[in-house]
Amino acid sequence: MALQFTTSYIEDSLTLFRYYKKLADGAMAQVSDDQLYAVLDGEMNSIAVIVKHMAGNMRSRWTDFLTSDGEKVDRNRDSEFVEPPAGREALLSLWEQGWECLFTALEPLTDADLTRTITIRGEAHSVMQAINRQMAHYSYHCGQIVFVAKHFQGARWQSLSVPRGGSGGFNEKVLRGEASQR
């Protein structure tokens, strides 16, 4: 992820959310349809279940973000961990809908909104706290998606960031004084 200098918390948050989505998108693109639904053991969630849970959480947290509680009364969290949508197309449609809720809620905000108060499960949060809470939650689950996909791909895995052995070039540039120093 190329860093774009900013002092806007909202702008940086949007960039990070997009980065984690891109990692999970790249991981899911590398696995077969069957692998989307496979589990490593009986206590783990499949990629499809993680996607269903994240989409349910995103719909609940980001719909009417500034005006209603982030835990919607019609959300059934427990149901998110069973019977994900059948088929890659339906699953990815649900995934995109969840992210659309997030981006629709965050894109119009400004840093002036960060101190506004919202609620999640009846508890007051500043907008900044709510964003931080969800950033941690989604990065955790995106990491799980990458982990499971990488496990299934093994040696066929295509790196989503700096591949092993790929960071030496930067260190060599620093030693020669060629790297950008900001």
Phi/psi of residue 8, nearest 5 degrees: -90, 120
Could you count the other beta carbons within 10 Å of the beta carbon of residue 137?
A: 15
Q: How far is CA 81 from CA 48, 53, 85, 159, 168, in A?
A: 9, 6, 11, 28, 41
Helix 47-62 with 9-29: angle, nearest 10 deg = 150
For residues 41 and 56, give the distance between their C-alpha atoms in angstroms, rounded to a whole number: 23
Dist. CA 31–CA 20, nearest whole Å? 17
Helix runs in 30-87, H state only:
33-37, 47-62
Q: How many helices (H) and strands (E) does the chain have?
A: 6, 2
Domains of the chain by start residue, with CATH = 9-176 (1.20.120.450)
pLDDT of residue 169: 65
Amino acid 135: pLDDT: 98
User: Would you write out the chain's pLDDT as a tens digit for each of its 182 residues?
Assistant: 566 777 899 999 999 999 999 999 999 999 999 999 999 999 999 999 999 999 999 999 999 999 999 999 999 999 999 999 999 999 999 999 999 999 999 999 999 999 999 999 999 999 999 999 999 999 999 999 999 999 999 999 999 988 887 777 655 655 556 654 43
